[in-house]
A and B are shown apart, each in its own frame.
Chain A
Amino acid sequence: MRYLLRKLGFYAIAAWMAITVNFFLPRLIPGDPVEMMLARQAQSGPVEPGQEEALAAMLGLGHGNLLVQYGDYLHALARLDFGLSVTYFPSPVTDVVGDAVPWTLVLVGAATLLSVALGLTLGMLAGWRRGSWFDSLVPSTTFLAAIPYFWLALLLLYLFSQVWGVLPLGGGYDETLDIGLSGAFLGSAAEHAVLPAATIVLSSVGGWMLGMRNMMVSTLAEDYVVAAEAKGLPPRTIMVGYAARNAVLPSVAGFAISLGFIVSGSLVMEIVFSYPGMGFTLLQAVQNTDYPLMQAVFLVITFGVLAANFLVDLVYGFVDPRTRQAR
């Protein structure tokens, strides 16, 4: 319970810091962003009264001193009032972001789980058979890990869509279909997700594999593994139940760093595939200098990553009782 509270406290502080950074950042924008946004919105259509206040509050550039601005900003944030998007005028920013979230969540979530499962299994086998031909393949994954996600995406897209023509060139689904739970739509969405998912798995699997392999090698030297061997337990039981169970802990603990990496890579990768997720939306926002949309995307991604890390920390506390007792 104390472990839970401490973790909760930490993530609350992390979330507050992200929100506060987000409050100060718009001050870096040269000129008056509020004026600029209003002028751009006015070009696209009539601007409702009250937009100026909403926009100023969200960018932390309202009236009054810093504290009042901060209060207004938090208030707007609590009501999820990000104002209207310039890019997709006059849709509210929350709608635009809401449309993009499921795409990234499903794609990155599924691909990450797949990559973790695959990497840990292969790493376990490589560590178990240290020095075998399979183990000697592990260093080659450093090459995969050093490839930029978006370039691997370009390469896969070029080969599978341009040269061989077996998979679609981009987008998240066949646009002639309606979004819904129909078989045709789901099939098309799955077909469009193959290359993006493959990109994530190929780029990230090496890291999991290498970390697991090295921990396996260290764990296999432990006394309890030797004792299990001396007892004559079947090798499979020793590998999975004794060595791998303990070797996996640092990988779980290192999830935070890896997830940040995967999310960052996926954002740029989405742009290559014109995948309708958060990365694509962020690029639209950047190209159209759509500050409210940029802020919302940044906060949503950050909160998503924080939530995922919190979940993993809970799992970690469960699988490794030692962390619950520490301090």
Chain B
Amino acid sequence: MTAPTVPTTPRATGRGWLRPALRSRRFAAGLALLAVFVLTAALGPWLVGDPNAFTTDLGQAPSGAHWLGTTQTGQDVLAQLVVSARGTLLIGAASALIATVVSVVVGIGGGFLGGLADEALSLISNVFLVIPGLPLVIVVSAYVKGGGAWSTILVIALTSWAASARVLRAQTLSLRSRDYVLAARVYGEKRWRIVLVEILPNELAIIVSQFIFAVIFAILTQAGLAFLGLADPSHLTWGTMLYFAQNAEALTSGAWWWFIPPGLCIAALGTALSLISFGLDEVLDPRLRVRKVSA
């Protein structure tokens, strides 16, 4: 995954950017796909039956009665998939939100304050950046066993804020010396007001894009953790579905309808979010737009 390109000229935010963004095919496609997932997560659980209900149809292939077949214990795969969408999205959004808040505080705070505070904060973010996240997450989850969904969310958030903090710091450093910020200082505006009113709004596009990548990262990490059996198995997510499928040897028994859909959903959701982010980048950085060139 590459960090999104930092736009060279921050645009004023407002309603002005949404219309050209929708003209980008990628952005529109991503948004439509995301809307499907969000609607499924919001309304779906009421439309399908109890995902944990056992039936006598054990390990059946897709049919009219069970569109995506059943698990080894006769649970409906489609019902599990729909209910898992909610769990997965909630964990992804919550971890990403916490990670983004931390990165905004560390990145913008450090970049704006400068001096020793900046040195210390950027050292910490760089260290967090080079220490691989997942092994740390696995070890912590193994230690605090049985912490439920919130411990998963916190652990993921704490290992995923560093990259975006670095991007935001770089942008803040560049904004800090712009004329309008200097003017605000000369007026004697308070520091927190300069940060909140002059700097933060101009970094909103980057923050949104970083948030989107944080959601993807959180969903992938959660899926990995759950697959290892380190997330609360009673909290249904696509990752826990894959965990149960793996433990029931769905692979060797050929029950492809059990382990393929959850992974496909994770990949599709990730793609939708990336498309939205790239669409935003294209709108903000016209150089990336595809133009026909006569080569």
Give A residues with C-beta under 8 Å from B.
10-11, 13-14, 17-18, 21, 25-26, 28-30, 128-132, 135-136, 139, 142-143, 145-152, 154-155, 157-158, 162, 169, 207-208, 210-211, 214, 217-218, 221, 251, 254, 256-261, 263-265, 267-268, 271-272, 282-283, 285-287, 289, 294-295, 297-298, 301-302, 305-306, 309
A158 touching B270 by the CB < 8 A rule? no
Q: Which residue of A lies closest to B127 (CB)?
A: A14
CB contact under 8 A between A297 and B135, given known A17-B127, A146-B266, A260-B130:
yes
Q: Does B9 contact A (CB under 8 A)?
A: no
Residues on the A chain within 8 Å of B262, using CB: 151
Across the interface, B291 reaches (CB within 8 A) one of A130, A136, A208, A298, namely: A130
Known contacts A18-B131, A263-B135; can you find 11 more A-B pairs with CB under 8 A? A143-B268, A154-B242, A158-B256, A211-B2, A260-B129, A260-B130, A261-B1, A264-B134, A302-B136, A305-B130, A305-B132
Q: Which residue of B lies closest to A300 (CB)?
A: B135
Please report the C-alpha to C-alpha distance between residue A29 and residue B126 in the assembled complex, in whole angstroms: 28
- Chain B, interface residues (CB within 8 Å), range: 35 or more
A263 touching B288 by the CB < 8 A rule? no
Q: Which residue of B lies closest to A263 (CB)?
A: B132
CB contact under 8 A between A289 and B142, given known A146-B266, A217-B287, A260-B132:
yes
Q: Is the interface of A mostly helix, strand, loop or mixed?
A: helix
Enumerate B221-268 residues with CB–CB distance to A below 8 Å. 221, 223-224, 227-230, 242, 246, 251-252, 254, 256, 259-260, 262-263, 266-268
Q: How far is the CB of B238 from chain A (nearest CB, A)?
A: 9
Residues on the B chain within 8 Å of A256, using CB: 129-130
Residues on the B chain within 8 Å of A147, using CB: 263, 266-267, 270
List 9 A-B pairs, minimum CB-CB distance, nearest first. A146-B270, A151-B263, A264-B134, A211-B2, A142-B274, A147-B267, A28-B143, A260-B132, A268-B224
Q: Does B21 contact A (CB under 8 A)?
A: no
Residues on the B chain within 8 Å of A267, using CB: 134-135, 138
Give B residues with C-beta under 8 Å from A.
1-3, 5, 26, 123, 126-127, 129-136, 138-140, 142-145, 163, 216, 220-221, 223-224, 227-230, 242, 246, 251-252, 254, 256, 259-260, 262-263, 266-271, 273-275, 278, 287-288, 290-293, 295
